[in-house]
Structure 1
Amino acid sequence: MQNGFDANEWVNLMQKHYDSVYQKSMKAIPICNSTILIEIPVLQQLADGRYLGVIVTPWFINAVFKLVDKEGNDAHKTQFTAKVSECVTLKFPSGQYEFIVNYQPEVGYFYTCSLMSDMHALESHKVAVDFALECFKLIFNEEAKEQTNQQQAIKKIRMGQAMIAESQDGQIQIVDKPKPKPTKTVQEKLDTPVSRRGMFGLKGQDNPEIENRE
């Protein structure tokens, strides 16, 4: 506990807040993956009054930052001039990150940075948590500044080109999504010869013997 700040209690309040948001306004929206729960699997104290974690929800995974003073009260207004919905830049071993300023009466000021928005790329809640924890580790990894294979894989996931599944040994693995079959343009369709069956909307393969009877 940071004097008056109880990190575990704050985590519980954050989870309750996002669960309320989900139930009231997000549950029926297609972008949500209903197999994924709301959880903050880690919130680590970096220094006095500075906490970094990750939050998993059915519609995003974010890094989350919390800042309090020696008494455990919000230190936002003494440290930043940015207003709610504006950005602050925080520096970590892997580089600089832009965090959006948030405020809710029950949890105070907190800061979020998007790590994943396509939650349908995640096979299950366990996979989502494992991925969130892996991203959390990368924030503190100086080598993550470079375009490593891991970073490239995460980029493919965020672009919707891959998804994350659980392997047989319980580890998470990156799986490329199958590329959609190319669709013909209108001109290509017009240029394609149409059989008599196709012209009259009949299904099945053409029977040459029947078509030759004239």
Structure 2
Amino acid sequence: MTERIRQPALQPPPIRPAVPRSEDPAAWLEAHYRHVWETRMRDLPFVNPALTVEAVGFQRLNGDWLGVMITPWFLNLVLVYGGGELWGDIPAGERRYLNLPCGTMQFIADDDPDIGPYQYCPLIAPVDKLPDMATARFVAADAVKTVFCPPAPPEPEPVELPETRAETPEVSRRGFFRRLAGKRS
């Protein structure tokens, strides 16, 4: 019989299965983060007031939704379940690695009571170094382009060719001196 001696101080939250979303999540993600901005984040010292909330480049990849969220406090690559192959239900706070066209990236699971489960990969946080929305949009669009573009194939390694020497017969010491003396044999 096994008796549990101690209980973990923090139990991971239960996994709430994600519901597939058929429509582009950009509009409802923007509405959600605008509400968060206006009700909970506006007066915090680490936000960048030059930025607003905007979803950039959401598109399907293997049936799920992937795009970038710009907020005054972060710039994240966001994965939303669309019924595809990328998604995996994991507890909030857990991390998983996804193979994307650009390579492998680490995503963190979250489960917001208002919008449900989603996963994100932090790109920039805090965003205080982004001077304006135009720069944030440029960075977000570049991130989307990079994520959806496979890396260039590696350069082929140069093949070392064997040294090409003229076919010269091995000359013995005696042959060398004979040639010096002008005698050929």
Q: How many residues align?
A: 134
1:21 is displaced (CA, Å) by 1.6
Given candidates 69, 90, 93, the residue that maps to 1:55 is: 69
Alignment of 1:31-70 (within 5 A): 31-48=46-63, 50-69=64-83
1:4 is displaced (CA, Å) by 6.4
Name 1:127's counterpart in structure 2.
135
1:69 is displaced (CA, Å) by 2.6
Amino acid at match of 1:95: G
Relative to structure 1, the CA distance from residue 58 to residue 5 in structure 2 (aligned partners, 3 Å threshold; closer, same or farther) is: same
**Matching of residue 5 in structure 1 with residue 8 in structure 2:** no
Higher relative CO (CA 8 A, sep ≥ 6), structure 1 or 2? 2
Task: Give 5+ residue unaligned stretches, structure 1.
Answer: 147-214
Deviation per residue, 1:165-209 (Å, 9 max, x gap): xxxxxxxxxxxxxxxxxxxxxxxxxxxxxxxxxxxxxxxxxxxxx
Matches of 2:152 and 2:71 in 1, distance apart? 24
Relative to structure 1, the CA distance from residue 133 to residue 145 in structure 2 (aligned partners, 3 Å threshold; closer, same or farther) is: farther
Deviation per residue, 1:13-33 (Å, 9 max, x gap): 211211222222211112111
Matches of 2:21 and 2:68 in 1, distance apart? 22
Name 2:34's counterpart in structure 1.
19
Name 1:136's counterpart in structure 2.
144
Matches of 2:67 and 2:92 in 1, distance apart? 20
8 Å Cα contact 2:75/2:125 also seen in 1: yes
Find the structure with the greater CA-based Rg: 2
Name 2:111's counterpart in structure 1.
103
Task: Give 5+ residue unaligned stretches, structure 2.
Answer: 1-19, 155-185
Matches of 1:91 and 1:43 in 2, distance apart? 17
Could you tell me the percent identity over the aligned residues? 25
Name 2:95's counterpart in structure 1.
87
Q: Tell me the TM-score normalized by structure 2.
A: 0.64
Matches of 2:113 and 2:34 in 1, distance apart? 15
Please state which structure has a larger fraction of its residues in helix. 1
Amino acid at match of 1:118: P
Name the SS for the 1:20 alignment partner: helix
- Misfit runs of 4+, over 6 Å: none
Matches of 2:108 and 2:135 in 1, distance apart? 25
Matches of 2:35 and 2:113 in 1, distance apart? 14
8 Å Cα contact 1:95/1:145 also seen in 2: no
